[in-house]
Amino acid sequence: MLADLTGRVALVTGGGRGIGRGISLALAEQGADIAVADLIESNAADVAEEVRQHGRRAAAMAMDVTDRSSVEAAVASTLTDLGKIDILVNNAGIVGAGGMWERDSSSDEDWNDTFQVNVRGIVRVTEAVQGHMVQRGSGRIINIASIAGRQGSPDIPHYSTSKAAVISWTQSNAQQLARHRINVNAICPGLLWTPMWEAIAQRRSRMGSTQTHTEVQGMPGRELFETVVDQTMPMKREQTPEDIGKLAAFLASDDAKNITE
């Protein structure tokens, strides 16, 4: 078994698709009960049903991480339905504001909306949960950042900058909570074919990409993605949501009790 999470409860934001779904199912496979929170409640409900098929308890709820009252309501619902929160996975995120894919450069709305979700959203959810963890004297907080936060991104700088901020916040929060036996870590996924990356590929196909040696303008999205993987990933393999889920399960387990940012 990868990690024994039997009897633990995880709250996963942005859990209704992509990486969030992969994490929710991986934690459930290792024995955790899952509260799936998503901006689109029907997506959360679908994943919660998959969790139940693994024999685990599940709850589904709408959560808008830009709205403190929505966050607090979702946390309260988790505590009511599942009794506690041992593990928080901050996965909710966006690449930019509405209409970003039709623009050739980042707008004020891209910067503002992305930071409200990717940075302030993580802070809001963490603040709503950490008091409960402090009272219990234990907890695991896992923030989903990105390789873009470590390397930068020429065509979506607002996104890469927000993910760099997530890494810095993780380090600061880890130092704040260590004395309460709460571990805080970040995962920086690389290249995964998710709905988010499909949209990125479509934009890069329209504009041309600055990250490969191949002309990609007009290239179909999936082919462009595979070209980026081939030319930028040392092992020339894409990752999957399941890969990220397995790492999250490890960080949530006792095997990682001495790992914190």
Place of tokens 């490890």: 250
Lookup: tokens for 232:
């930028």
Do 63 and 129 belong together in one domain?
yes
Which CATH number is 118's domain given? 3.40.50.720
pLDDT in tens, the chain (261 residues): 568 999 999 999 999 999 999 999 999 999 999 999 999 999 999 999 999 999 999 999 999 999 999 999 999 999 999 999 999 999 999 988 877 767 777 888 999 999 999 999 999 999 999 999 999 999 999 999 999 999 988 888 999 999 999 999 999 999 999 999 999 999 999 999 988 888 888 878 877 765 665 677 888 889 989 988 998 889 999 999 999 999 999 999 999 999 998
Do 69 and 152 belong together in one domain?
yes
Q: Which residues contact 72 (CB under 8 A, 6 or more apart)?
A: 128
Of 9, 113, 129, 159, which one is the catalytic site residue? 159
Do 88 and 198 belong together in one domain?
no
- Assess if residue 165 is contained within a domain: yes
> Tell me: the pLDDT tens digits for 37-48?
999 999 999 999
Do 127 and 230 belong together in one domain?
no
CB burial readout 68-83, b (16+ within 10 A) else e:
eebbbbbbebbbeebe
- Assess if residue 2 is contained within a domain: no
| Count of CB atoms situated within 10 Å of the CB of 205 | 18
Do 148 and 248 belong together in one domain?
yes
Do 197 and 228 belong together in one domain?
yes
Do 245 and 203 belong together in one domain?
no
Lookup: tokens for 229:
């993987």
Do 92 and 202 belong together in one domain?
no
User: Do 110 and 97 contact (CB within 8 A), yes or no?
Assistant: yes
198 is in which domain, residue-wise? 191-238
Do 84 and 146 belong together in one domain?
yes
| Count of CB atoms situated within 10 Å of the CB of 88 | 30
User: Do 15 and 37 contact (CB within 8 A), yes or no?
Assistant: yes
Q: Is 159 a catalytic residue?
A: yes
Per the structure, how many domains does the chain have? 2
Do 195 and 247 belong together in one domain?
no
Do 75 and 85 belong together in one domain?
yes
- Assess if residue 1 is contained within a domain: no
Tell me the DSSP string of 19-52. HHHHHHHHHHHTT-EEEEEESSHHHHHHHHHHHH
- Assess if residue 3 is contained within a domain: no
Do 105 and 216 belong together in one domain?
no
